[in-house]
């Protein structure tokens, strides 16, 4: 076996830049997977012996033999350490192209290619790459966001197959950071952009390529391998057909420079619920029940995060709670009552949340679910059933697979419409952009479910 190969292997010397810097021979493998592994022939000083020991190295560096590039290994966890000899570690992230110390990891640029980006931007890419030379990196659109500029670029590169050489067009989303950003900050912004692509294409997007740079965009980038927080690098995904997408760059109402900042602001408002809301797009192996539950809870979380608290509700709750501050032998019995009153007045019932969402996108919702009251009631009851089970004294009709799938698809369409409304789109515009989408057509053509009658 060669000392370095294209199969995700690096044979060389590795060291801890925060320690004595002594080099240890080892093999880095699995760079083409989401779990790169480092197998050292001699363990780092102080490494604990045993299996699955709880020992972490924030940063490790390596230098490959035979011309292999330098690497930076991030968040490495010691798995095994044989007494007096070898050590195995798995790494959350590997940067190929440089050996960086912790204080050197300030990045000025990050670029990604994702599952459906090329298809989404196909028309714009074709316009700028049609008559240009290979290797160019043409700017298609840009948008300013806090502390950075987001750029959509396109180009074409030569590729080889059994028929010989041909040109392959590509699209890339890049972010220029000013000032330079730490890796967690880079991750946060890229995940917001990835969620945006998932939203506009209505399909899970995975990183197909991820590069970083500590210089300008034109300097040699660092290839990123391993896990990228929530979304796995290199995951294969069937390309989303263009008609199934929610928003595309050809739409007259879509402006990249306006949409991206609006999306970043919306994602910030969604806060910690944002990954959960979009997790449903990535649950390809989930059951129908789990998909319904994900869609129902995503809609609930979006409404809770994007709806300001009603001050009158809080005022009423405080007034009633104060009235229950009585003295005497009945005080301890009133504690339970007080807690119930607080929960009833401070919290909004799930059915009410669904009704509020439907009311906000009313024109779209009427076309999708004519009986909105029945839909809100049924979805809330089913969500509570799957989340908490039901009181046996209040039996619930369990839907069949087709009905449950139908409810889940409608919830997902309503979630998209609700988020679009917070991005400035009117319900009539949302309805217009959905009229030719297969998911919307299927939902509206299907005979009304017995669940909604």
Looking up tokens 């192996």 gives 285
Number of CB atoms found within 10 A of residue 192's CB:
20
Question: For residue range 80-110, what is the model confidence (pLDDT) as tens digits?
Answer: 766 667 888 988 889 999 999 999 999 999 9
Q: How are beta strands 56-64 and 222-228 bridged, if at all? A: unpaired
Q: 245: closest CA among 349, 386, 123, 329?
A: 123
Q: Which of 374, 396, 377, 375 is nearest to 385 (CA)?
A: 396
Q: Is the Cβ–Cβ distance between 232 and 206 less than 8 Å?
A: yes
Note the pLDDT of residue 179.
94
pLDDT at 229: 43
Q: Extract the residue ranges of the chain whose pLDDT is less than 50.
A: 1-6, 134, 229-231, 233-234, 327-330, 345-346, 447-453
Domain spans of the chain?
9-101, 106-262, 286-308+351-452, 311-346
**439: CB partners within 8 A, 6+ apart:** 202, 244, 409, 412, 413
The reported pLDDT for the residue numbered 414 is 97
């Amino acid at each position: 076996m060669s000392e370095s190969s294209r199969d995700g292997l690096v044979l060389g010397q590795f060291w801890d830049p925060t320690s004595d810097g002594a080099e240890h021979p080892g093999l880095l493998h699995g760079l083409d997977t989401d779990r790169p592994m480092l197998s050292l022939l001699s363990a780092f000083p102080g490494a604990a012996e045993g299996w699955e020991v709880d020992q972490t190295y924030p940063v490790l560096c390596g230098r490959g033999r035979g011309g292999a590039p330098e690497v930076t290994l991030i968040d490495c966890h010691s798995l095994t350490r044989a007494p007096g000899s070898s050590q195995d570690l798995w790494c959350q992230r590997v940067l190929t192209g440089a050996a960086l110390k912790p204080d050197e990891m300030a990045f000025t640029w990050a670029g990604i290619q994702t599952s459906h980006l090329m298809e989404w931007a196909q028309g714009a890419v074709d316009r700028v790459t049609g008559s240009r030379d290979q290797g160019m990196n043409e700017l298609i659109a840009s948008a300013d966001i806090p502390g950075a500029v987001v750029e959509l670029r396109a180009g074409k590169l030569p590729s080889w197959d059994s028929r010989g050489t041909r040109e392959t067009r590509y699209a890339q989303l890049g972010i220029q950071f000013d000032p330079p950003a730490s890796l967690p900050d880079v991750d946060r912004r890229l995940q917001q952009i990835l969620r945006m692509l998932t939203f506009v294409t209505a399909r899970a997007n995975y990183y197909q390529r991820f590069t970083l740079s500590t210089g300008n965009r034109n300097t040699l980038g660092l290839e990123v391998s391993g896990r990228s927080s929530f979304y796995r690098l290199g995951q294969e995904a069937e390309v989303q057909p263009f008609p199934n997408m929610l928003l595309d760059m050809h739409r007259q109402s879509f402006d990249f420079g306006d949409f991206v900042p609006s999306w970043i602001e919306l994602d910030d408002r969604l806060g910690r619920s944002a990954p959960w809301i979009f997790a449903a797009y990535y649950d390809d192996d989930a059951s129908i029940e789990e998909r319904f539950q994900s869609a129902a809870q995503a809609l609930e979380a979006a409404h809770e995060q994007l709806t300001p608290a009603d001050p009158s509700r809080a005022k009423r709750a405080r007034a009633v709670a104060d009235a229950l501050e009585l003295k005497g032998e009945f005080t301890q019995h009133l504690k339970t009552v007080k807690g119930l009153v607080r929960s009833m007045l401070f919290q909004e019932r799930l059915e009410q949340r669904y009704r509020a969402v439907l009311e906000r996108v009313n024109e779209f919702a009427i076309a999708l679910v004519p009986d909105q009251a029945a839909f809100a009631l049924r979805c809330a009851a089913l969500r509570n059933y799957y989340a908490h089970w039901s009181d046996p004294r209040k039996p619930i009709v369990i839907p069949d697979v087709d009905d449950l799938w139908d409810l889940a698809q409608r919830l997902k369409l309503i979630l998209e419409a609700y988020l679009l409304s917070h991005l400035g789109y009117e319900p009539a515009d949302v309805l217009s952009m959905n009229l030719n989408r297969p998911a919307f057509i299927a939902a509206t053509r299907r005979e009304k479910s017995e669940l909604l009658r």
